[in-house]
Amino acid sequence: MGSYRDEFDRSVDDREDFWLDAAQAVDWVTPPTTALDDSNPPIYRWFPDAELNTSVNALDRHIVAGHGARTALIWDSAMTGQQRHITYAELLDEVARFAGVLLAQGVTKGDRVVIYLPMIPEAAVAMLACARIGAVHSVVFGGFAAKELAARIDDAEPVAIVTASGGLEPGRTVDYLPIVAAAIDLAASSPTVVVKDRPEVSGSAADVDGWLDWDTEIAKATPAEPVPVAATDPLYILYTSGTTGRPKGVVRDNGGHAVALTWSMANIYDIHPGDTWWTASDVGWVVGHSYIVYAPLFVGATSVMYEGKPVGTPDAGAFWRVIADHGVNALFTAPTAIRAIRKVDPEAVELSKYDTSSLRTLFAAGERLDPDTFEWAGRVLGVPVVDHWWQTETGWAIVANLRGLEPMPIKAGSPTVPVPGYRVGVLDAAGNRVGPDQEGTIVIDLPLPPGTLAGLWRDEKRFRTSYLDAFPGYYLTGDSGYIDADGYVVVLGRSDDVINVAGHRLSTGSIEAVVATHPAVAECAVIGIHDELKGQRPSGYVVLKAGVEIEPDTLRSELVAKVRDEIGAVATFRDVTVVAALPKTRSGKILRKTMRQIADNEDYAVPSTIEDAAVLDALAEQLRG
């Protein structure tokens, strides 16, 4: 096990050798002789003279090495009660055949394919099939509204759309085919549509003239051979959530992506060939791209794909059941999932029903891991709980506790230290670096490491204005925070969640961290609302733990006292509202901007990414009532 400091220093001081060494873990058609093309700053390209095929790195090479019988993918559907164990050889056969289906429909290298599927194995098959023939996939979260899907069709201009009859949610089904039909009517183009029929959801390809049935087409398809692509060629476009107007498509390349994700599995997550890895996310999000489909298969691990929820499918023991059933060695999930489990089962009664001894580590990302959730999860599971921080744009971790290198002491509230390749800094409003423990805007020195965004789809100007122009020489993360005296990074939240209270800049994230430590609070959100005197003031919204009863005035006075003690009177924190639930996106992020608009009596639109619009409606009625 290597030294974190040595590896980080080498990634900064000897960047070429560091990433060319990492590239040796990838199978190339033409190996790279150069790591970085820095001829056109601030636009950089990785492994410019190399060629490879991403599906070969995920599948073929493991079979060539004699591991075709190893399980590549476990599909566990709590919604249907079904499980499938798919070996590397079986997965390659399905991928090659579906790649043949795409070729037969005129999809060629560089063409785009929109994938609009639920959490079923065909989602991974479709992604890998695109990679096999050099097509560019764009996965859209299943269930997005027709207008949002149409915007992505217009931007990506796909030759084909791959979908299913529908998705399954607790207590309901989501019919995809009417959404796809409406989106195509709204869009400027009419792609070929391939439909995977799910018996649990009505509708099929036969409902629309010219649409193709997945099973029929794959049965007669000729398996496709892998197509070499340049390392700098795009692998996928992923549109960031919550966009309005023309969506913002993050582009990931093939070569840097393969190198970075392969390196991350061993060095960040300590996951190796034959290990069982479970990312409890969705393929519609970046976490699902990187760590359900690609990274675990790159290293020859077994990846669990779960269709279900942390609670309600059927109970708060769902995650523990999956770990026990499949011998999961590491789980990667969002803190909101752990909070949901804890809210329903605070004493972890359901956990005692399952043997989770295979679990070595719980990884959390996607939102701030509050200290209370961190402590609870570590206590009940008895394994390290490791926070780490990254973004759709980066594709893999910016800051982490590298379990495969040199695990460092864990500090609650910090995702630990910058990952090798990422030179993280904190700047003030004038662009000057600030000292330890001083809050500011988190930036990353350019060039970003391999695997990060190569740009925005057909929009370099927007790429520059969104990420590069604010502080020349740096990538703007959009998050605020600080780096402590030990070099640990603390991410306090989006920069627009920093509020100005009577001239004092305060992070709502730091106030949330205090509120979340109250024993009655299951989860919380703090937002800045308009104040005639002070400009803004923080307002807290809390969800109580299951079975907890406390007078609202008592809770309010205790929380106000805690914030005053730990942050100071300058916070002027006095508003506390108990709510039944917080509105969230499907990926678990709290919709703070929308909450601010409601609290300030502004007009607001229901975001397309919302998990449950009824929660937002109830909150609006409560706050405005």
Mean pLDDT by 10 residues, the chain (625 residues): 89 97 98 98 98 98 98 98 98 98 98 98 98 97 85 96 95 93 94 97 94 98 98 96 65 98 98 98 94 98 97 96 98 92 95 98 89 93 97 96 93 95 96 95 98 97 95 95 96 72 65 89 89 78 92 93 78 88 83 86 81 86 78
Residue 599 lies in a domain: yes
Q: How far apart are CA 451 and CA 432, in angstroms?
A: 27
Q: Where are the beta strands (DSSP E) in 337-446?
A: 361-364, 385-387, 399-400, 417-418, 424-427, 440-445
- pTM of the predicted model as reported, rounded to 2 decimal places: 0.85
Clarify whether residues 516 and 402 are in a common domain.
Answer: no
Supply the pLDDT for residue 244. Answer: 42
List the one residue out of 313, 278, 317 whose CA is nearest residue 81: 313
Supply the pLDDT for residue 364. Answer: 95
Supply the pLDDT for residue 406. Answer: 84
Clarify whether residues 468 and 550 are in a common domain.
Answer: no
Contact 436, 483 (CB under 8 A): yes
Supply the pLDDT for residue 368. Answer: 78
Clarify whether residues 236 and 274 are in a common domain.
Answer: yes
Please tell me whether residue 55 adopts helix, strand or coil conformation.
Answer: helix
Please tell me whether residue 133 adopts helix, strand or coil conformation.
Answer: helix
Residue 316 lies in a domain: no
Q: Which of 448, 481, 514 is the last residue of a domain?
A: 481
Clarify whether residues 464 and 610 are in a common domain.
Answer: no
Please tell me whether residue 90 adopts helix, strand or coil conformation.
Answer: helix
Supply the pLDDT for residue 534. Answer: 66
Residue 531 lies in a domain: yes
Residue 248 lies in a domain: yes
Residue 321 lies in a domain: no
Total structural domains within the chain: 2
Contact 426, 481 (CB under 8 A): yes
Clarify whether residues 127 and 180 are in a common domain.
Answer: yes
Clarify whether residues 612 and 472 are in a common domain.
Answer: no
Burial 311-334 (b: 16+ CB within 10 A, else e): bebebbbbbbbbbbebbbbbbbbb
Q: How far apart are CA 330 and CA 246, in angstroms?
A: 37
CATH for 134: 3.40.50.12780
Residue 336 lies in a domain: no
Contact 97, 59 (CB under 8 A): no
Clarify whether residues 170 and 40 are in a common domain.
Answer: yes
Q: How far apart are CA 237 and CA 283, in angstroms?
A: 13
What is the number of other CB atoms lying within 10 angstroms of the CB of residue 204? 18
Please tell me whether residue 524 adopts helix, strand or coil conformation.
Answer: strand
Supply the pLDDT for residue 532. Answer: 65
Q: How far apart are CA 515 and CA 541, in angstroms?
A: 10
List the one residue out of 279, 395, 367, 310 whose CA is nearest residue 585: 367
Residue 351 lies in a domain: no
Residue 349 lies in a domain: no
Distances (CA, A) of 1 to 15, 198, 449: 20, 46, 22
Q: Give the range of the structural domain holding residue 101, as residue numbers without chain letter.
A: 4-308+388-481
Q: How far is it between the farthest Cα atoms of the chain?
A: 71
CATH for 618: 3.30.300.30
List the one residue out of 137, 383, 396 whose CA is nearest residue 260: 396
Please tell me whether residue 178 adopts helix, strand or coil conformation.
Answer: helix
Clarify whether residues 450 and 545 are in a common domain.
Answer: no
Q: Which of 481, 510, 533 is the last residue of a domain?
A: 481
Clarify whether residues 477 and 506 are in a common domain.
Answer: no
What is the number of other CB atoms lying within 10 angstroms of the CB of residue 352? 11
Clarify whether residues 473 and 523 are in a common domain.
Answer: no
Clarify whether residues 86 and 219 are in a common domain.
Answer: yes
Clarify whether residues 273 and 144 are in a common domain.
Answer: yes
